Amino acid sequence: MFLISSGEPLESGDVRGDAGGDESSVLVAVRVRPLNSTERSQGDQGVLCCPGQGTILVNNGAQDRAFTFDAVFEAGCSQHEVFEQCGVKRLIDLATDGFSCTVFGFGQTGSGKTYTITGPQSLVSSFST
Ligand SMILES: Nc1ncnc2c1ncn2[C@@H]1O[C@H](COP(=O)(O)OP(=O)(O)OP(=O)(O)O)[C@@H](O)[C@H]1O
């Protein structure tokens, strides 16, 4: 889960599946991490479904429960899509114009916070060499 905040209201058009309507300086986005090789090898199954409109369905084995956020990114979404569509790219532009901006990752260990903030390791490596 990512809280995205800037010193000026973000436009709702920055966010796919906008559910709020009112402009806000804080947006909450969820990115689903794909199952990793360990999880796949032990036969784990995904329990999340992303039908759009900022909604995520969590299946507890018996029924779906729906939760709504400003944006939801399913497991197949690229880093580019996440940064572009949840407004992070625009925050970088605002930051260079002097606005205070924050992107805050929240989730259990291994859920993908570092990956989402910094990008895939291959991308990080290409900047550090
Ligand atoms: N969207 C994604 N697509 C592919 N792999 C991912 C994705 N998100 C995370 N991963 C992989 O899952 C693993 C855990 O991700 P990451 O290190 O970002 O978790 P974290 O939430 O920062 O964990 P911690 O809180 O323990 O630091 C890493 O190997 C990372 O490459």
What distance in angstroms lies between residue 123's CA and the mean position of ligand 1's atoms? 14
Output 9 or 47, whichever has higher pLDDT: 47
Across residues 5-15, what is the average pLDDT?
57
Q: Are 70 and 20 in contact (CB under 8 A)?
A: yes
Output 127 or 106, whichever has higher pLDDT: 106
Atom of ligand 1 nearest to the CA of 111: 21
Domain range annotation of the chain: 2-124
What distance in angstroms lies between residue 17's CA and the mean position of ligand 1's atoms? 24
What distance in angstroms lies between residue 111's CA and the mean position of ligand 1's atoms? 6
With 60 as the cut, is the pLDDT of residue 63 above it? yes
With 70 as the cut, is the pLDDT of residue 56 above it? yes
24 close to ligand 1 (CB < 6 Angstrom): no
Cite the annotated binding site for ATP by residue number: 107-114
Q: Are 5 and 95 in contact (CB under 8 A)?
A: no
Q: Are 48 and 33 in contact (CB under 8 A)?
A: no
Measured distance CA(17)–CA(106) in Å, rounded = 20
pLDDT of res. 17: 39
Across residues 15-32, what is the average pLDDT?
67
Measured distance CA(12)–CA(17) in Å, rounded = 9
Domain 2-124 superfamily per CATH: Kinesin motor domain (3.40.850.10)
